Chains A and B, each alone.
Chain A
Amino acid sequence: MLAKIREFIKDETKCERIDLPENTKMRVQDFDLWYDDTQALKSVDMDVEEYKVTAIIGPSGCGKSTLIRSLNRMNDTIPSVRTEGKVWLDGYNVYDEVTDCVDIRRKVGMVFQKPNPFPFSIEDNVFYGCEVNGMDMDKEKKVKKCLKDAALWEEVNDRLDENALSLSGGQQQRLCIARALATEPEVILMDEPCSALDPIATAKIEDLIDELKNHYTVVIVTHNMQQAARVSDYTAYMYLGELIEFGDTTQIFENPQENSTEKYITGRFG
């Protein structure tokens, strides 16, 4: 019912749109963001290529989380935030006033820094997105598929009705990935998904990201330089709210054009 009304109100023809280059899934264009009076993003331009992994790196507080949260309008939940500029998804303006955040977030899923499963059963966690979006499907099949895709099925298939909070941190994080996959997003945002995990759990997630890029476009924030080098195809380096350098991961790590980038990746920062 609600979904119907939403469709009715939302007039896609009214949404501002442009033609993006063939392989470009998302584009951030001249994007500024303020928390009250402090500017956290300064005129950021960045392209996200389809079926590739784009990493965002930079020192703490440079605006990585702010940028990635801008891609699915999660910053809308913070009252003090004000934005200027555009973010395009498949050529549609994410920040157009006729755009519905709910639709954006369904297409652009998110995994947070700290694993944050709901205090429900494992299967209810996975199915939550389908439920709230009124997606009519076989729950059992769906849960199985998503858990398999998130490389968690083997570990939990005999206790799907158990509380998700009884899982280990790494399992919880993979559950959060499974949960994000359930709404069939096209882009998956990950904000330091491994920072609360041990090396083995981290390796599992990294393998998973490698798998995911066959079907999804991935954007990942990390402050682990090796991780960025290992998993990503493109890397964006940010400093103090500005996107300093963006390019092929190999190029950024082997031949950075900017002084600041080189300092950061060689660990001679500050």
Chain B
Amino acid sequence: MISRSSKDKIIRFIFFGIATFSILIISFIFLFLFSRAYPAIEEFGTGLLSNDWSVARREFGLFPALYGSVFVAVGALFVSVPLGLGAAIYLSEIASNRVRMILKPMIELLAGIPSIVYGFIGAILLGRFLYDTYNMRGVNSFFAAMLVLGVMALPIIISLSDDAMKSVPKDMKDASLALGATKWQTIRNVTIPGAISGISSAVIMGMGRAIGETMAVMLIIGSVMRMPVPFFDIFDTGHTLTALIAVQMGESHGIIINVLFTAGVMLFTIVAIMSIISDILQTRTKQKYEGKR
């Protein structure tokens, strides 16, 4: 017979092991990324952050791709946040149980569609449509990428925001209604503020998906390594860090590979910053609900 306390110890040890293992793996990935990026950083230094990219002249300024990644992701948010939040409010606060039971799985199913399909639809239908109808300069553009990524991020934003709003205690909503607030006032004053940490992490997850997306973007962004002119021109073509890695990887060798790893480090950093922001927001809200602020 194993005593209860030693059983407890064993279980704790197992979980400690699993946790340590996952942290180790992640650290190794980062170490590996960084060590492979290092030669490029050593050789080009801040040149990696410049605007000039030319393999022939051995200039590897990654800024256009870095900018493109952030630009596309932010643009996608303009599509996915209003739509996603609206849909989530409908699902959690307005739709009847029956409608919700049908819609929610359907929306979650959308998240499972392979990204290449979105990209394909974007390239063939959307790009062509924009080109034919509005005489846009080309089939590819930031705009098309933003739309496609915005739609791709929708399911995750809807689903997580809906969960967050559903988990605001009914007590709170009832308290507001009982004071004579309308349904909409209650949503605005109680439900959304109560769910704000969940909603922000939903948005950040959506943004993470947009920044990390590769295939769909590759098909519609144009893959041109230069800044849009002017820098906010959403109808220009450009590049992103992910698309750059995917496009260049096959035909590159030597130092270029190291440059691509630097692009990887940049991606990693962006995502890490976003998850830290999300964490801070979560803690803040939690403190608020525990009455510490």
Residues of A within 8 A of B (CB): 2, 72, 74, 77, 79, 101-103, 105-106, 109-110, 112, 114, 116-119, 128-129, 132-133, 163-167, 176, 179-180, 182-183
How far is A167 from B291 in the complex, measured between Cα atoms in Å?
A: 8
A176 to B194 Cα, complex, angstroms: 18
Complex interface: chain B residues within 8 A of A118 (CB) = 172, 175-176, 190
Closest Cβ–Cβ distance, residue A128 to chain B (whole Å):
6
Contact between chains at B292 and A166 (CB < 8 Å): yes
- List A contacts of B180 (CB < 8 A): 102-103, 105-106, 129, 132-133, 183
Which residues 90-105 of B sit at the A interface, judged by CB distance below 8 A? 96-97
Flag B164-208 by CB within 8 Å of A: 1 or 0 each: 000001111111111111100100011001100000000000000
In the complex, which residues of chain A have a beta carbon less than 8 angstroms from the beta carbon of B179? 105-106, 109, 128-129, 132-133, 179-180, 182-183
Give the docked Cα–Cα distance between A102 and B182 (Å).
Answer: 7
Question: Known: A116-B174, A118-B175. Contact between A128 and B96, CB under 8 A?
Answer: no
Residue of B nearest to A133 (CB): B180
Closest 5 CB pairs of A and B: A165-B291, A166-B291, A106-B180, A129-B179, A132-B181
Which of A77, A112, A167, A176 is packed against the most chain B CB atoms within 10 Å?
A77
| Residues of chain A within 8 A of B292, CB atoms compared | 163, 166
Contact B185 A116 (CB under 8 A): no
| Contact partners of B289 in chain A: CB under 8 A | 119, 165
Is there contact, CB below 8 Å, between A132 and B171?
A: no
Contact mask for chain B residues 71-106; partner A; CB cutoff 8 A; 1 contact, 0 none = 000000000000000000000000011000000000
Q: How far is the CA of A105 from the CA of B292 in the complex (A)?
A: 31
- Chain A, Cβ-Cβ closest to B186: A132
- Would you call B176 and A119 a contact (CB within 8 A)? no
B290 interface residue (CB < 8 Å to A): yes
B181 contacts which chain A residues (CB < 8 A)? 102, 128-129, 132-133
Interchain nearest-CB distance for B1 vs A (Å):
43
B293/A79 in contact, CB under 8 A = no
Q: Determine whether B288 belongs to the interface, using a CB cutoff of 8 Å to chain A.
A: yes
B292 shortest CB reach to chain A, Å: 7
Contact with B175, one of A79, A165, A176 (Cβ below 8 angstroms): A176
Closest to B182 in A: A102
Inter-chain contact B185/A132, CB cutoff 8 Å: yes
Least Cβ–Cβ distance between B142 and chain A, in angstroms: 39
Q: Please name all residues of chain A whose beta carbon is closer than 8 Å to the beta carbon of B174 when the two chains form the complex.
A: 74, 77, 112, 116
Q: In the complex, what's the smallest C-beta–C-beta distance from B166 to chain A, in angstroms?
A: 14
Instruction: Pick the residue among B96, B177, B182, B190 that contacts A74 (CB under 8 A).
Output: B177
- CB-contact partner of B169 in A74, A116, A129, A176, under 8 A: A116
**Residues of A with C-beta under 8 A to B185:** 132
**In the docked arrangement, what's the CA distance between A133 and B189, Å?**
13
Rounded to whole angstroms, the CA-CA distance of A103 and B182 in the bound complex is: 10
From B96, B97, B182, B288, A132 is in contact (CB under 8 Å) with B182
Q: Assess the A105–B178 pair: CB atoms within 8 A.
A: yes
Distance (Å) between the CB of B290 and the closest chain A CB?
7
B291 near A163 (CB under 8 angstroms)?
yes
Kindly state the separation between the CA atoms of A128 and B193 in the bound complex, as whole angstroms: 14
Q: List, in ascending order, chain A residues with CB within 8 A of B194's CB.
A: 119
Roughly how many angstroms separate A183 CA and B180 CA in the complex, as a whole number? 8
Closest B residue to A101 using CB positions: B177
Say how far A147's CB is from chain B's closest CB, in angstroms: 16
Q: Which residues of A contact B291 (CB under 8 A)?
A: 119, 163-167
Residues of A within 8 A of B177 (CB): 74, 77, 101, 105
B169 neighbours in A (Cβ, 8 Å): 116
The CA-CA distance from A102 to B96 in the complex, in Å, is 21
| Contacting pair B288 A112 (CB below 8 A) | no
Q: Who on chain B is nearest to A2 by CB?
A: B182
Chain B CB within 10 Å, residue with most, of A105, A106, A118: A118
Alpha-carbon separation in the docked complex, A109 to B179 (Å): 6
Q: Which residue of A lies closest to B188 (CB)?
A: A132
